[in-house]
Amino acid sequence: MRPSFGPMLGTPFEYGVIALEEARLTWNKGAAPGILSRAARAFDDAARAGDVGGEVGAAVARALAGDTEGATRRLHESIARHPAEAGPYVALGVVLLRESDPLAHANEAAWALCAARDIAPHVSFIERELAAALCASGHFMSALQSARAALALDPEDLDARLWTALLRLYFGGDSSATTALVELAEEADNQLRAPIFWLGAAAGLYARSDFQEARIALRRSIAPMKVGYEPERPFVDAARRWMREVRGFGPGVAMAPDRWLRDVGGAQSDYVRTRSALTALRDACAKDPERALAEGVSTLEVEAVIGEMEARTRRGMLDWAARLLLRGFAEAFLPLRQYLEPPPYEAFAAMGLVLLDG
Partner 1 sequence: MTRPSVPWLETKPPWEEPAPESLCAEAGLSRDGVPVIRLLSVPSNIPELVALRADRFVPLFGEGPTRSEAVRALANLVLGLGERADVRGADHALALSTHRSIGSKPLEMLAHAVRDGQAPALYAEIAIAYSSLLGASDLQRESIARLFEASPDTSHEARLAITVGGGDYSAWREHYESLRRLPASPATRVARLWFEWVLARRFSALEQLHAISSDTELDPASAWLAESAFFVQGEDQSKERLVSQAERVMAPVAKMIPRVMTACARDLVEGVRTPLSLRWKHLRAGAAKDHAAAAIRHWLAAATAQLEDDEEHSGEALSPEPSRAATEARTAAGEFLLDWFVGDRDAREDVDAYARRIVRVYHRLRGAQTFARALRELAPASPSSVEEQLLWGKGAQG
Q: How far is the CB of 240 from partner 1 (least distance, A)?
A: 5
Backbone angles phi, psi at 341, to 5 degrees: -125, 140
Are 117 and 130 in contact by the 8 Å Cβ rule? The answer is yes
Backbone angles phi, psi at 196, to 5 degrees: -60, -20
Angle at 125 between CA 159 and CA 334, to 5 degrees: 45
Q: Of 329 and 348, which has the nearer Cβ to partner 1? A: 329
Q: How many residues bind partner 1 (CB under 8 A)?
A: 67
> Residue 207: how many CA atoms within 13 Å on its side-chain side?
28
Contact residues for 117 (Cβ-Cβ < 8 A; gap 6+) = 123, 126, 127, 130
Among 302, 347, 351, 353, binds partner 1 (CB under 8 A): 302
Q: Of 37 and 269, which has the nearer Cβ to partner 1? A: 269
Q: Of 11 and 137, which has the nearer Cβ to partner 1? A: 137
The region of 33-41, 87-95, 109-117, 270-278 touching partner 1 under the rule CB under 8 A is: 270-278
Q: Of 112 and 218, which has the nearer Cβ to partner 1? A: 218
Does 296 contact partner 1 by CB under 8 A? yes
Question: Burial level of 310, CB count in 10 A (0-12/13-18/19+)?
Answer: middle
Does 133 contact partner 1 by CB under 8 A? no
* CA-based nearest residue to 134, from 123, 145, 124: 145
Contact positions vs partner 1 (CB under 8 A): 101, 103, 215, 218-219, 222, 225, 227-228, 236-238, 240-245, 247-250, 254, 260, 262-265, 268-271, 273-275, 277-278, 281, 284-285, 291-292, 295-297, 302, 305-306, 308-309, 312-317, 319-321, 323-325, 327-328, 330-332
